[in-house]
Amino acid sequence: MESARLPSGRIDLDKPRYDQSTYMGRAKHFFTVTDPRNILRSAKELEESKQLLIKYRRGEEPKGTSDEQVWWAKKTYESAYHPDTGETMFILGRMSAQVPMNMTITGCMMTFYRTTPAVLFWQWINQSFNAVVNYTNRSGDSLLTNKELSIAYALATSGAITVALGLNYATRGAPPLIGRFVPFAAVAAANCVNIPFMRQREIFHGIPITDKDGNRIGESKAAARKAIASVVFSRIGMAAPGMFLPPFIMNHLDSKPFMKRLPWLASPIQVLLVGFCLVFATPLCCAIFPQQSSIAVSHLEPELQAKIREKYGDSLDAVFFNKGL
């Protein structure tokens, strides 16, 4: 299953450990990327991992260094340092913080959904966290301005709040179970607004496309639309299990005597249920689409199709692009 090897047999530090052409390989990769234990690494461990990788690239690693030690260092380093800038990322914006942060925020959104102040507060917290994640994981050469980031944040927050309050109003008098799904609808709506706006430059100007050997061909808006749609689908998929299954369980538990005696248990139980779902849903949904995705040449803009036919003839059926996260 491992594919990141150089012809010499040494580890290729520029590639993921597992074969990214298969779903299982991508899933294993994202289980390491989103591992919550990574946020517990100390500054000393992070620096030691960084130095080991630097020495390994030079062939100067300490004698007796095992492959597993190198893999551990690579996993630890990539969990905390930005891939483009090499700078340490803000801890709450790291992928390893996704599960503990989302389980807490989502659990509270699903517990405190009945009153307007609670809806306003938790939807604001959720979109603030999303903004932190998007900013922390932005491309190192991203041209997105602070103004554009602020507008995306405002649109996503207002969209989520509008949907949540509107559905709360529409479902008044409905069975309690129906009301429990309102937060999921709000989160899904916010993703449909936030992600496209955060990547608006790609929609208007396109993203780089390459042939199978990595040779750059040009920029495609059609590829950008496919990339963004894939990310939106994955993000909604990540949220779905944790926001769809717990309502049924909590609706069942609400009728139990112990919940009536100890109503404060609702929030921690909800958070734990959501967390259990997210531990699996986050990496499994990140892995649905390959990071290096493809699009048929026939689906590209006419000018790109003409350029490809001129250079490659009929030998190129598809081109490739990085879909983002």
DSSP secondary structure, 210-231, as one string = E-TT--EEEEEHHHHHHHHHHH
Task: Give pLDDT, residue 107.
Answer: 83
Task: Give pLDDT, residue 101.
Answer: 92
234: tokens are 């994955």
Q: Half-sphere exposure of residue 11, counting CA atoms within 13 Å on the CB side?
A: 23
Query: Residue 177's closest CA among 128, 127, 266, 249?
Result: 249
Among 46-50, 199-203, 267-271, 319-323, which is the least confidently predicted range?
A: 199-203
Residue 132 has pLDDT above 80, yes or no: yes
Task: Give pLDDT, residue 144.
Answer: 66
Provide the pLDDT confidence category of residue 139 given band limits of 50, 70 and 90: low
Q: What confidence tens digit (pLDDT) does each residue in 68-80 have? A: 999 999 999 988 9
Residue 8 has pLDDT above 70, yes or no: yes
Residue 85 has pLDDT above 80, yes or no: no
Residue 168 has pLDDT above 70, yes or no: yes
Residue 6 has pLDDT above 70, yes or no: yes
How confident is the model over 175-184, as a mean pLDDT? 76
Provide the pLDDT confidence category of residue 52 given band limits of 50, 70 and 90: very high
How confident is the model over 234-239, as a mean pLDDT? 88
Provide the pLDDT confidence category of residue 3 given band limits of 50, 70 and 90: low
What is the rounded CA–CA span in Å between residue 323 and residue 139?
A: 12
Among 11-25, 187-201, 229-243, which is the least confidently predicted range?
A: 187-201
Provide the pLDDT confidence category of residue 5 given band limits of 50, 70 and 90: confident
Residue 23 has pLDDT above 90, yes or no: yes
pLDDT, the chain, mean: 84
What is the rounded CA–CA span in Å between residue 121 and residue 272?
A: 21
How confident is the model over 137-158, as a mean pLDDT? 71
Residue 231 has pLDDT above 90, yes or no: no
| Helix 182-198 and helix 221-253, axial crossing angle in degrees, nearest 10 | 160
Residue 15 has pLDDT above 90, yes or no: no
Residue 143 has pLDDT above 70, yes or no: no
Residue 260 has pLDDT above 90, yes or no: no
Q: Which residue has the higher pLDDT, 179 or 10?
A: 10
pTM: 0.79
DSSP letters for 256-295: SHHHHH-GGGHHHHHHHHHHHHHHHHHHHHHTSS-SEEEE
Query: Residue 281's closest CA among 29, 11, 5, 31?
Result: 31
Task: Give pLDDT, residue 74.
Answer: 93
